[in-house]
A = this chain, B = another copy of it.
Amino acid sequence: MNFEISPIGTIHTPFKEKSQCPVQTGAAGEAVGSVELLPELAPGLKDIELFTHLYLFYIFDRAGEVELIRHPFLDDEPHGIFATRHPCRPTPLGLSIVELVERQGNVLTVKGIDVLDGTPLIDIKPYAPKFDGVEGASNGWLEGKDWRPKPEGRE
């Protein structure tokens, strides 16, 4: 059974091209963007300002072809797609954790954004260390990998 998902808004960022996009939120640093929710959904943002950080869920609407085993941006070894955050995945679903700077009506200003301008937003959830800060979790193959620019020719 398939599910039809209808975007609830749009993410605006300074990144117009894939080559400009940070590799992960962690590398996005101070990049500021805005999350524009459909105006009719704005009541659903009540109390969102109580949280400093949010999860954004979005569709990788410009992702390339799916490869189940591939080189991620941060490693020269290939890994299974589910052991990476690479956009070219069976369900083109993206997740970023951003800092909430302010809310004005149906628009959130956020910091640390790492997605392409115009990305379709499908959900927002509060980030809460209580649920989301797992103590003692491993970094898997990411351990010791430094941030680096995207290797040439990789999208």
A101 lies within 8 A of chain B by Cβ: no
Q: Could you tell me if B134 and A3 are in contact, using CB atoms closer than 8 angstroms?
A: no
Cβ of A135 to closest chain B Cβ, rounded Å? 9
A130-142 Cβ-contact flags toward B at 8 Å (1 or 0): 1111101111111
A69 to chain B, nearest CB (A): 6
- Give residues of chain A (77-98) contacting chain B, Cβ–Cβ below 8 Å: 78-85, 89-93, 95, 97
In the complex, what residues of B have CB within 8 A of residue A97's CB?
131-132, 134
Counting CB contacts under 8 A, is A26 at the interface?
Answer: yes
Query: Do A26 and B131 touch (CB < 8 A)?
Result: yes
Decide: A43 and B68 in contact? CB cutoff 8 A: yes
Chain B residues, Cβ within 8 Å of A24: 131
Interface string of A40-58 (1 = CB under 8 A from B): 0101111110111101010
Q: Which residues of A contact B (CB under 8 A)?
A: 1-8, 24-26, 37, 41, 43-48, 50-53, 55, 57, 59, 61, 68-69, 78-85, 89-93, 95, 97, 120, 122-134, 136-143
